[in-house]
Chain A
């Protein structure tokens, strides 16, 4: 495997407020973040609100300039790119956003939204672009005959499909999804997750998924970056992270998730306190104000990411922490009744899809015949 993308020492400081008589506050949204993305993997970035996930994503895309640090895509430093270079980059790297409602231009038809990147990159004739657009709609599971409607005529899940079709238009090699399924209902979320996985396979994409839902991440990703207050606290292969979280913050995150298993209600140790403001982050380890294991050294000295055997962790004392009582992320197996019904459900879902495909191809042939 080789790295498709490399981020080194990324920082983004936002200056806010400040007037004639007051000093502006500096929000350290992202503070010295480095990582690489392997070709073909799904890398997740997880952390609570305000920890800097979106800001990292936007710096990778060069939608905003880093305060410091570099991003290299396929070996090329994005910092040196001019107009044309950037435009080409936006073809190779695409982003899907969280909010399917505000990220689509309400005055453009679906065909125009999806086809715009093709037009921007000057691909093909008008006719060819239209063809490709309809094909993209089919790819994401939308009926091509809806191409000339407007976004408000679609449901949330459909709008997210439109956003994904648009992202695919320029045949990108890397797709960054910033909370691509967070705004969706569970049943719709599952459709979009499956779609993203299919597309990744089909187009050999590399995916970066920014999310706060740890179950979604577990399901989709190969590797996980955990962020807290602008810094990376842990990087690990997904299975290893969930089986044995090393950083105290990762442990706290995992134990805070309410599991959909009623038997698992035992009182657990919860994190105390609020997330501090990134305008005024704690000294030393940024987690020390909430960490149950904090010691004197933690407030004095910033812990660097250290190798922990195939993974990295930024904690002075991770080796000495009491072992994580495993089991929470494991959970018991489904009850026999539930397993039986789920199997029945999946089985009938497959038949249902088969019937739908049959009908669709029948009506397609019909339309084709009529066209002739």
Chain B
């Protein structure tokens, strides 16, 4: 498993995943539009990184790019590296890529029905994932399937093995997806809004299950969500995305206790609180610009209450504001830079 010629040496071998300067564009007939720009983050074994941001900010595209599942054309990676276990996966041929998927790198989607085959039993589908990547007999594979159903705490697992996806509730299907994703003990698990379609009591079950299984397997997890509550519940580290770029990156407690980017602060202020019917919600005015109409400078500038002329000059890079805490805002930390503007 030596690195492909020309690809850089793994900088931090302890990182399961390192995304560096990733940009993704959609190529139209007339022009190309950048949808994800200069996204970087890394993820170590056993850790959970949450990508959080509102609809359309590029969370799913980023994860699909890592999985090698971007619909290209029209989508394409235009820049950057995706190092998985130190190796740039973009250099792999489709076969090698497919070998990784479902084995060392797996994914759970929001809507389990789209990834389950309605024509096969639950047992066959889990067993298939195992036989595709492991040298096992069909009996052994069925054994793994049964064991996985027990692990994801499906009641009466022997009976469920022979059932079809449509016979299960949404929460059960999501458990099946988790069973399939973890059957081969992957190094990296990507979960794209795995509980968004579920009721809150079922969501709580699934999150606690995923956390526990992750502890057992030591997998790294990239969890995509727009729910700050879910982030607080499961993340070790957080990357906040806005309009295709990462605007803030920090350990989870820093994001919540020391939010630095005006967008992150605005999001916190927009959250209705469970602790009381307090003051009016703070809001972020307006809405996200369309990808083809992104501002040249800071993409948050049209909505930002702290905007000054310099914000429009160039996209602000991520700057370290404290150890391990980065924000892409030229005025962070705010209390240092905005007082005189009053």
For A296, the chain B residues whose CB sits under 8 A away are none
Q: Does A261 contact B (CB under 8 A)?
A: yes
Complex interface: chain A residues within 8 A of B305 (CB): 345, 348-349, 351-352
Bound CA span A215–B287, Å: 22
Instruction: Give chain B residues whose Cβ lies under 8 Å from the Cβ of A331.
Output: 273-275
* A257 touching B232 in the complex, CB below 8 Å, given contacts A186-B270, A187-B270, A344-B334: no
> B71 near A: Cβ within 8 Å?
no
Question: Nearest Cβ distance between residue A128 and chain B, in whole angstroms?
Answer: 31
Given known contacts A186-B226, A190-B283, A256-B200, A338 and B256 CB-to-CB distance under 8 angstroms:
yes
Q: Evaluate whether A260 and B200 lie within 8 angstroms (CB atoms) in the complex, with A270-B208, A338-B258, A348-B306 already known.
A: no
Q: Are A252 and B201 touching (Cβ within 8 A)?
A: yes
Residues of chain B within 8 A of A342, CB atoms compared: 265, 268-269, 282
Q: Say if the beta carbon of B28 comes within 8 Å of chain A.
A: no
- Residues of B within 8 Å of A74, CB to CB, are none
Check if A6 is an interface residue, CB within 8 A of chain B.
Answer: no
Residues of B contacting A372 in the complex (Cβ-Cβ under 8 angstroms):
none
Cβ-defined contact, A193 with B269, below 8 A: no
Residues of A within 8 A of B233 (CB): 258-259, 265
Give the distance in Å from the alpha carbon of A99 to the alpha carbon of B150 in the complex.
38
A344 touching B335, Cβ below 8 Å:
yes
Does the CB pair A188–B232 fall under 8 Å?
Answer: no
Q: Does B246 contact A (CB under 8 A)?
A: no
- Contact A330 to B228, CB < 8 A, known contacts A258-B207, A341-B259, A348-B338: no
**A216 is an interface residue with CB less than 8 A from chain B:** yes
A257→B200 contact, CB < 8 A: yes
Complex CA gap A353/B286 in Å reads 11
> A residues within 8 A CB of B265?
341-342, 344-345
> Cβ of A23 < 8 Å from any Cβ of B?
no
Among B155, B228, B257, B338, the residue within 8 A (CB) of A337 is B257
Collect the chain B residues with CB atoms within 8 Å of residue A238's CB: 277
Of B257, B260, B274, the contact of A329 (CB 8 Å cutoff):
B274
A253 lies within 8 A of B281 (CB): no
Main secondary structure of the interface of A (DSSP, over half): helix
Which residues from B are CB-within-8-Å of A351?
A: 305
**Does A194 lie within 8 Å of B232, measured CB to CB?**
no
Q: Are A48 and B281 in contact (CB under 8 A)?
A: no
From A155, A258, A265, A353, residue with most partner B Cβ within 10 Å: A258
Q: How far is the CB of A94 from chain B (nearest CB, A)?
A: 23
A145 at interface, CB cutoff 8 A? no
1/0 per residue A164-205: CB within 8 Å of B? 000000000000000000000111111101100100000000
Instruction: Tell whether B203 is near chain A: CB-to-CB under 8 Å.
Output: yes
B273 surroundings in chain A (CB, below 8 A): 215, 218-219, 331
Question: Could you say which residues of chain A place their CB within 8 Å of the CB of B272?
Answer: 190, 193, 213, 215-216, 218-220
Whether A270 lies near B205 (C-beta < 8 A) is yes
In the complex where A218-B272, A242-B274, A260-B231 touch, is A49 in contact with B199 (Cβ < 8 A)? yes
A260-B205 contact in complex given A187-B54, A214-B200, A348-B338, C-beta closer than 8 Å: no
In the bound complex, do residue A274 and residue B172 qualify as a contact, i.e. CB atoms below 8 Å apart? yes
Q: Is the CB of B285 within 8 A of A337?
A: no
- What's the Cα separation between A255 and B202 when bound, in Å? 12
Taking the closest CB of chain B, its distance from the CB of A149, in whole angstroms, is 15
Q: A188-B287, A270-B201, A338-B257 are in contact. Are A345 and B266 (CB under 8 A)?
A: yes
Interface residue B320 (Cβ < 8 Å from any Cβ of A): no
**Quick check: is B229 within 8 A (CB to CB) of the other chain?**
yes
Give the CA-CA distance A177 to B259 in the complex, in Å: 33
146-195 of chain B: CB within 8 A of chain A: 155, 169, 171-172
Would A186 and B228 be within 8 Å (CB), given that A193-B272, A270-B208 are in contact?
yes
For residue A275, CB closer than 8 A to chain B, the reply is yes
Residues of B within 8 A of A258 (CB): 203-204, 207, 227, 229-230, 232-233
B280 interface residue (CB < 8 Å to A): yes
Complex Cα distance, B293 from A155, in Å, reads 14
Q: Does A263 lie at the interface of the complex (its beta carbon under 8 Å from any beta carbon of B)? A: yes
CB of A267 closer than 8 Å to a CB of B: yes
Residue contact A185 to B202, C-beta cutoff 8 Å = no
Measured between beta carbons, the chain A residues less than 8 angstroms from B259 are: 338, 341
Bound-state Cα–Cα, A187 to B285, Å: 8
A185-B54, A186-B54, A338-B258 are contacts. A256–B282 as well, Cβ < 8 Å?
Answer: no
Q: Is B271 an interface residue (CB 8 A)?
A: yes
Assembly CA distance A185 to B335 (angstroms): 28
Question: In the bound complex, do residue A218 and residue B199 qualify as a contact, i.e. CB atoms below 8 Å apart?
Answer: no
In the complex formed, the residue of B with least CB distance to A344 is B334
**Is A262 interfacial (CB 8 A cutoff)?**
yes
Tell me, yes or no, whether B284 is within 8 Å of chain A by CB. Answer: yes
Given A218-B277, A346-B282, A185:B226 Cβ within 8 A:
yes
Over the window 64-86 of chain A, the binary record of Cβ atoms lying under 8 Å from chain B Cβ atoms (1 yes, 0 no) is 00000000000000000000000
Kindly state the separation between the CA atoms of A335 and B257 in the bound complex, as whole angstroms: 5
How many whole Å from A199's CB to the nearest CB in chain B? 14
Assess whether A260 is in contact with B232, with CB atoms less than 8 Å apart: yes
In the assembled complex, the CB of B182 is this many whole angstroms from the nearest CB of chain A, namely 20
* Residue A340 CB within 8 A of the other chain: yes
Within 8 A of A (CB), among B270-308: 270-277, 280-285, 287, 305-306
Complex Cα distance, B204 from A273, in Å, reads: 12
Q: B56: nearest residue on chain A (CB-CB)?
A: A185
Q: What are the 10 A-B residue pairs with the smallest beta carbon separation, nearest first?
A: A219-B272, A258-B229, A190-B270, A348-B305, A335-B257, A256-B204, A185-B54, A187-B284, A258-B233, A48-B199
| 10 additional contacts (CB under 8 A) given A216-B272, A259-B232 | A48-B200, A186-B267, A186-B271, A189-B270, A190-B283, A215-B229, A220-B277, A258-B229, A338-B256, A341-B335
22 pairs across A/B with beta carbons < 8 Å? A157-B287, A186-B226, A188-B287, A194-B281, A215-B229, A218-B273, A218-B277, A220-B277, A256-B204, A258-B229, A263-B253, A265-B232, A337-B257, A338-B257, A338-B259, A341-B259, A342-B282, A345-B262, A348-B305, A349-B282, A352-B305, A353-B285
Residues of A within 8 A of B (CB): 48-49, 155-158, 185-191, 193-194, 197, 212-216, 218-220, 238-239, 242, 252-253, 255-265, 267-268, 270-275, 329-331, 335, 337-338, 340-342, 344-346, 348-349, 351-353, 356
Q: Which residues of B line the A interface, CB within 8 A?
A: 54-55, 155, 169, 171-172, 199-205, 207-208, 226-233, 235, 252-253, 256-260, 262, 265-277, 280-285, 287, 305-306, 334-335, 338
